Structure 1
Amino acid sequence: MDEKVGDLIQLLEERDLMENTIIVFQSDHGFSREEIALGGGGTAGIYRGSKFSLFEGGIRVPAFITWRGRISANNVEDSFVTNIDWFPTLAEMCNIKLPVRKIDGKSMVPILNGKSDKGTHKTFFWQSLGTRENPQWAVRDGQWKLLHRPYEAEEEELTEDGYFLVNLKDDPAETTNLAGSHPDIVNNLFEKYSTWIKNVDQQK
């Protein structure tokens, strides 16, 4: 992959296109442990979870963007943004009007321009795997994150209803379930998730 990325950059340089080309590189999930990939490989550092998991190791991935002469080089940003934000971001950078319909992503341009240090989403939702009646899902609101039946969790770690609550500021590695000591936060985040999934179902 390194060689092919290098080939692409070289071609753009040869054709004098670097100043007119935006390059984005991002993984779509954490490292794999799949049998089909011979056990996969890699590490998420301190973060728990891997591909398919809604723990941070499965969904927190590095991303890079470069646009020579337009985006400052060598900046590192740790604001909370998501892959759905690339669509409105690239549209704004290229002066392309967005379609007139609901778009979940939000432009990262203020962050990339150094005019904001806030993420694009205060609240965000995920759902995958499991069954329709008992899915794996998660909701993040600020630094609080509630997971339901998270892949790669031990059954004894979860509440009777399958919840795992964490404050990412205090516990970024998601080691301790706080659901039992913060039922009010669990209920609040569950209500947010319930409203979101109903809206998703209505739009199908």
Structure 2
Amino acid sequence: LGYADLACYGARNVKTPHIDRLASQGLRLTNAYAAAATSTPSRYGMLTGQYAWRRAGTDVAPGNAGMIIRPEQYTMADLFKAAGYRTAAFGKWHLGLGDKTGTQDWNGLVTPGLTDLGFDESYIMAATADRVPCVFMHNGRVADYDPTAPIEVNYRQNFAGEPTGRTHPELLYNLRSSHGHDMSIVNGIGRIGYMKGGGKALWKDEDIADSITRHAIDFIREQSQRAEPFFVYLATNDVHVPRFPHPRFRGQSSMGLRGDAIVQFDWSVGEVLRALDSLGIADNTLVVLSSDNGGVIDDGYDDRAEELLGGHNPSGRYRGYKYSAFEGGTRIPAIVRWPGVVRAGRSSEALVTQADWLASFAALLGVQLPTEAAPDSRDQLAVWLGQSRRSRPWILQQAADKTLGLRDERWKYIA
């Protein structure tokens, strides 16, 4: 999701009423950045408060990667757990599972997992929608596991007799690849990596948003009924490829599948906001919305995204897209809402990065971070609450090719 992909950030070819409402009721940050221009290092930075370039093995992860955040590291979930919150993660994970790459037994408990990182509950995709295994993981085990179709995953070679997008393009009945994404075929869509089995556990791409959103809302409702504080990390798959939204969202924008996926994302946000309202806990819930990197147009599938832009630029007036060291690679939309605490309808040009989220939450909760925790995170709570416009003096950003960008209040240096 790019900086300018939402109506409240200037998009004209797609409507995002629920996120617009969130922005009108909270603070819209206009100088917010992901820690990196791709998913894995960006999420690593946000959840640990440490720039990913400080650690080897934090590049974009294959679907069979071992867990990149190690159990001994302090995470955002650990912080909330220490403050007495029940914690949960839903959606796209892309930070690895299990001890070592390629050694997971997907037919049993995959450990270490999210419970070792401070999450009490989890319902996640092991990696991304374009990478195998194409199954959800519920608390460390494949959700809806089908014992008649044991799962095997390999990122080096295919399994005998299994069709691929490269050898059997006629089986790509839902989406064809524009580049890459021509290995195993699941739901008529080519993927990265090879898998065998899965049976009834295999997801249908058009149902991913419904499934993730439903599980998140069920958790919120359960915690509300228990009157227990909760922390939810909800990582929707939209607008990541393959863009294959549910049929009810098709044609809801003028930008084809990419635009319709943004509409679907907006719906997911709206469902969560509606749940908070119906449960009577909206005024006591801090909501932070952001993206893990800048937008991208053609990201491996022939979904006509470039053809149907209609003058739209996911990066707005900025140069570059996802993967890039330029502004469009890491500048993201970011909204903070807390009714009665965060003043509504305001915007801030303060320079912030997602790596700051952890220290900011610690300040809010009154929790002292361990000495070695979150070395790159800075407390921005005063900015969130509208009590200060003071920026960080500088932030660092990482491109896909490991190029670093240094941004201060006026300039950006790329090296």
TM-score normalised by length of structure 1: 0.63
Aligned residue pairs, count: 143
Quick check: 106-115 or 53-62, which moved more?
106-115
Deviation at 1:40, TM superposition (A): 5.0
Q: 1:94 to 1:37 in 2, by over 3 A?
A: farther
The 5-angstrom pairing of residues 24-173 of structure 1 reads 24-38=288-302, 40=305, 42-102=313-373, 103-119=375-391, 121-130=392-401, 135-148=402-415
- Paired residue type of 2:272: L
Q: Supply the AA of the counterpart residue of 1:139.
A: L
Q: CA separation in 1, counterparts of 2:364 and 2:275?
A: 23
Q: Output one character per residue of 1:84-120: Cα deviation in whole Å (capped at 9) or x when no partner.
A: 111111222233332222521111112123332121x
Q: Tell me, in whole angstroms, the C-alpha distance in 2 between the residues paired with 1:146 and 1:125.
A: 10
Q: Structure 1 residues 141, 13: CA separation in 2 closer, same or farther (over 3 Å shift)?
A: closer
* TM-score under structure 2 length normalisation: 0.32
> In the alignment, residue 24 of structure 1 is paired with which amino acid?
V
- Which amino acid in 1 is paired with 2:329? G
Q: 1:4 to 1:35 in 2, by over 3 A?
A: closer
* Segments ≥4 residues shifted beyond 4 Å: 39-42
What residue in structure 2 maps to residue 184 of structure 1?
none
The Cα of 1:14 is off from its aligned counterpart by 1.3
Cα distance, 1:141 vs structure 2: 3.6
Q: For 1:51 and 1:45, how far apart are their aligned partners in 2?
A: 13
Aligned equivalents of 1:40, 1:137: Cα separation in 2:
28
Q: Secondary structure at the match of 2:283?
A: helix
| d(CA) in 1 for partners of 2:299, 2:386 | 42
Which structure's relative contact order is higher, taking Cα pairs within 8 Å and 6+ residues apart? 2
2:146 corresponding residue in structure 1? none
Task: Provide the rounded CA distance (Å) in 1 between the counterparts of 2:376 and 2:369.
Answer: 12
Return the offset for 1:10: 1.2
Instruction: Tell me the CA shift for residue 81 of structure 1.
Output: 0.4
* Cα distance in 1 between the residues matched to 2:359 and 2:294: 24
Gaps of 5+ in 2: 1-264, 307-312
Moved more, 89-98 or 17-26: 89-98
2:407 maps to a residue whose letter is R
Q: How far is 1:37 from its partner? A: 4.4
For 2:287 and 2:330, how far apart are their aligned partners in 1?
21
Q: Does 1:22 align with 2:282?
A: no
The sequence identity of aligned pairs, in percent, is 29
Determine which structure has more spread, i.e. the larger CA radius of gyration: 2
**Which residue identity does 1:124 align to in structure 2?**
I
RMSD: 2.0
Indicate conservation of the 8 Å contact 1:49/1:56, yes or no: yes
Change (3 A) 1:2 1:87: same
